[in-house]
């Protein structure tokens, strides 16, 4: 059983990015990370906030073969919950919450299926609640110790509850079908020293292709040693048709420290 606990800059973002955890934890069994840090945001509101995240996974792998550089995942269940605390105009409040649960089942080492559900709210984007359920394929294109690449394509159904802005406009409660595409990569820039992971989600509405939602994540991790690393996370979120008075593009920069350790099963044979 692999167990990984991390203290990281939180990822309380508009779209959960569990690909970052999946790329870092390869051991079978349970793994988890606990995060807390700060962020700078610009777009609809320039702000500084504190945020945190709890994420966990359970993973099984295909049997190892000669020449395998990394274990190949067979199945993986993921769960994450995150939130953000902001102080604005003399008031401190929780402005963002997100809960996600998903499962990956590989049919072969390279091809599999994914499903997930998610809840989020974001007060600054007038988003009282967004519920999504998604299914997608997963294709592993590159699976090497120094770098990896995977893509996904599927569909999701969203139910969105938007609040009323200060002038009483643009309140809405809608249910939309969307396509969802994903591309993720992991690159070891300096061997055992610096890692860059990236995930891009594209979610156009199936009944109105002009309505595009793009969420782009970048994580840079500098490894001080086997346990400690420094992290910086950048999120770009683009909505082609946002509610009135909201900007199309939001950016968020997060930073922090990561502490990781693992408990692996013993290889010793039991004594009789």
Q: What is the pLDDT of residues 114-124, one digit of tens each?
A: 999 999 988 76
Are 47 and 258 in contact, with CB atoms under 8 Å apart? no
**The pLDDT value given to residue 73:** 93
**The pLDDT value given to residue 272:** 38
CATH superfamily entry for domain 19-62+74-259: monomeric porin ompg (2.40.160.40)
pLDDT of the chain, 272 residues: tens digit per residue: 333 322 222 222 334 455 655 555 677 888 777 676 776 666 555 666 777 777 788 889 999 898 888 899 999 998 988 887 776 666 777 778 899 999 999 999 999 999 999 999 887 677 888 899 999 999 999 998 888 999 999 999 999 887 655 444 455 668 889 999 999 999 988 876 898 999 999 999 998 888 999 999 998 988 887 767 778 889 898 989 887 667 888 888 887 776 665 545 444 444 43
**The pLDDT value given to residue 230:** 79
**The pLDDT value given to residue 30:** 81
The beta strand positions in 22-72, using DSSP E, are 29-42, 47-61
**Rounded to the nearest 5 degrees, what angle is found at the Cα of 168, between the Cα atoms of 165 and 173?**
75
């Amino acid at each position: 059983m692999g167990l990984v606990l991390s203290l990281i800059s939180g990822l309380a973002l508009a779209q959960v990015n569990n690909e970052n955890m999946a790329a870092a934890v390869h051991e079978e069994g349970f793994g988890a990370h606990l995060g807390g840090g700060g962020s700078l945001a610009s777009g609809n509101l320039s702000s500084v906030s504190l945020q945190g995240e709890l994420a966990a996974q359970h993973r099984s792998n295909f049997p190892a073969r000669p020449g395998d550089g990394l274990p190949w995942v067979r199945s993986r269940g993921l769960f994450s919950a995150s939130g953000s605390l902001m102080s604005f105009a003399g008031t401190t409040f929780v402005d963002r919450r997100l809960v996600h649960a998903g499962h990956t089942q590989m049919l072969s080492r390279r091809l599999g299926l994914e499903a997930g559900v998610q809840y989020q709210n974001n007060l600054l984007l007038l988003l009282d609640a967004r519920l999504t359920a998604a299914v997608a394929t997963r294709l592993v294109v590159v699976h090497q110790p120094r770098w990896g690449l995977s893509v996904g394509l599927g569909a999701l159904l969203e139910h969105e509850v938007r609040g009323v802005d200060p002038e009483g406009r643009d309140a809405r409660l809608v249910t939309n079908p969307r396509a969802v595409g994903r591309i993720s990569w992991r690159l070891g820039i300096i061997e055992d020293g610096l890692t860059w992971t990236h995930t891009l989600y594209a979610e156009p509405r199936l009944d109105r292709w002009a309505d595009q939602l793009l969420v782009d994540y970048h994580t840079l991790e500098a490894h001080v040693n086997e346990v400690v690393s420094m992290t910086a996370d950048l999120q770009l979120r683009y909505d082609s048709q946002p509610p009135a008075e909201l900007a199309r593009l939001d950016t968020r920069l997060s930073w922090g420290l990561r502490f990781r350790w693992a408990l692996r099963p013993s290889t010793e044979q039991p004594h009789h």
